[in-house]
Amino acid sequence: MDMHDQTPAEQRSPSLAKIGRRLKQIERRPLIWGVIGSVLGMVLGCVGLFLVSSLFMGDKGLVQVPASNGNDAIIVQISAPYLAQMVQKSIQAGGIPGDIKNVQVSFNRNSQMTVAGDNKVNILGFDVTKHFTVLLQPFVQDCQVRVRVLHADLDGIPTTALVSLLEGQIDQQLQAMMSTMPKGFTYCASNVHAERQRLVIIYSATPT
């Protein structure tokens, strides 16, 4: 049978078959790109987490906190919710990407503070939330209250990224509190400790 003897439907069937195959290929493309995007997002997330973790230092040791010298003039109490807000602002100001939320502060033995919260980061359109835990120790140095990051982890992976910057941010906020004290005195922090889920700072005062 030659081409002239074929019906119109039979003559069109090879073309229709080719069009069908091309339509199937086009339909597969969004699925293929979606799979590639998901895999790429997971790979970049894992690589980013590895790079961040590799920049962190190991855990630090405790600092010896001196006892009060008995010359107590002003006692400042900071509640755990206020400390949580202070730490959250310090972490965000430290340059850590993403949103910091659900931050809570609790006190352990030796007046150490455990800070826990969530870090939500968007990676290639995917929201990834990691739970972080930071162990802090407040101490007194040169008449000022400071904090030391003893340990930090992200979803159980030990990390201490931006430790010096985080410590500096919290220290600055603690020092800013001293500017609200009455003028005409030189103040010196002599002791800091936890008491009933509050951070207690004791200052001595010398007239100037």
The whole-number pLDDT of residue 162 equals 57
The whole-number pLDDT of residue 48 equals 53
pTM: 0.63
139-190 pLDDT per residue, tens = 999 999 999 988 888 888 887 665 666 788 888 888 888 888 889 999 999 9
The whole-number pLDDT of residue 50 equals 43
The whole-number pLDDT of residue 43 equals 43
The whole-number pLDDT of residue 14 equals 53
Question: What's the CA gap between 132 and 202, in Å, rounded?
Answer: 30
Q: Which residue has the tokens 């739970």?
A: 131
Please report, in tens digits, the pLDDT of each residue of the chain (208 residues total).
554 554 554 454 555 555 556 545 545 555 554 544 554 455 445 445 444 444 444 555 545 444 555 567 899 999 999 999 988 888 887 777 888 899 999 998 778 999 999 989 888 888 899 999 989 999 999 999 999 988 888 888 887 665 666 788 888 888 888 888 889 999 999 999 998 889 999 999 999 8
What percent of the residues of the chain are helix, what percent strand, and what percent coil, each to the nearest 5?
40, 35, 25
Question: What's the CA gap between 121 and 6, in Å, rounded?
Answer: 63
> Quick one: which H or E segment has residue 103?
strand 99-107
Domain extents in the chain: 3-53, 59-207
The whole-number pLDDT of residue 142 equals 92
The whole-number pLDDT of residue 143 equals 92
